[in-house]
Amino acid sequence: MQMKKWLAALALTLPALGAQAQETLKIGGIGPLSGGGTAWGLAVQRGVQMAIDEVNAQGGLKIGGQTYKPELVMYDDKYSATGGRSAAERLVNLDKVKFIIGPIGTPSVMAVVPIVNEARVIMLSNGYAPDILKQGGQNGYNFRTMNSNVEFGPAMVKWLKENRPQARKVALIVPNDATGQVVMPTLGKAYQDAGYTVWSESYERGSKEFAPLLTRMLAQGVDVLDLNLNAPGEAGLLTKQARQVGFKGIIWQVGGPGIDEVADIAGPYAEGFMSYDVFDFNEPAARRFVDAYKQRWSGVINAQTPGWYNSARILFKAMETAGTTTDTDKVRAALENLGGFDAGIYGPVVWGGAKAYGVNHQLLNRFWVTEIRDGKPHALATLSPARE
């Protein structure tokens, strides 16, 4: 009789033990889910969610003898420093997260880095200012998991000079915020070093009407309009309105990938538009990714989406290697030593950045020059950042 009672009690206990065997692991997410940068914020949200869905479908993350079910806690930073700071403080102080993916965009990332460094929270972000990685140095907890213009700018300018040799003068139209302040010292110098003349002007972030600015640009006799780090919404409007005021030269974007969104906004005016791109949707691995994406979401897929999926996969691998979800020093060390791990999108992990930023927290990924032809993106060239 005692044995029967014990077996009955065990039968009731086993389901409860099974339910407790998988703990929730909160992963913070920050990105613009409103305004001109919405496409980038959705890329963060959906890319990370795809990685989470994938591991949960496989039974969760096995870390240090425990199984975890990752869960995304995502906040809108409105593509601003204030929004980024508010989101980070909420994630760190209220949600108690130890890991954040995002934000994207210099103003928000610059505001968030001091918060995560002080709290010893691992962050995988994307913003182009050099100080993003310089803050904290070897003791920092922030990793940049996509190339900045320091990595891709010189290679793209070199490609332009070799493949469009008739171009001589470049216009850089930049937002008058921290993002714009990053462009001229880096991208502007890359053009000047290659022998180009550079003309620039700024605009108020969130603007919709660019005709007066573009008319002034026409008077300068420029050959190339570079949309640099502009968010997809604004880049699309600039492309459309530049053609409408009569600009016949090259329009391309060395930074801020969002070629599908630009094509969607500019319509037929986007024909011939070229851009830095972080994904070739025509590769076999890309098709599988797109198919998985479309099973859950409809509409345009931003090219940064697989980059954030890749970031989440790298983070999960580092946690598994470190064997902990709480000791962020061990996870940081595992991230730094993850070279060679292939998350299935860009090939083996390669960290760089020591020369430019003083710390090897810069992920070096191959990238593409993509052109809109017949309304569709076509990869023109595959390029790689210089290895240090």
Round the average pLDDT of the chain to a whole number and report it.
Answer: 91
Greater pLDDT, 1 or 29: 29
How far apart (Å, rounded) are the C-alpha atoms in residues 54 and 313? 10
Nearest alpha carbon to residue 222 among 186, 205, 198, 255: 198
pLDDT at 8: 46
- pTM for this structure? 0.83
pLDDT at 41: 95
How far apart (Å, rounded) are the C-alpha atoms in residues 361 and 135? 11
pLDDT digits (tens, 9 = 90+) for 61-118: 999 999 999 999 999 999 999 999 999 999 999 999 999 999 998 899 999 999 999 9
Report residue 340: phi and psi, to 5°. 100, -20
Q: Please state, for a pLDDT cut of 70, what percent of the chain lies above it.
A: 94
Contacts with 365 (C-beta within 8 Å, 6 or more apart), sequence order: 146, 147, 278, 307, 346, 385
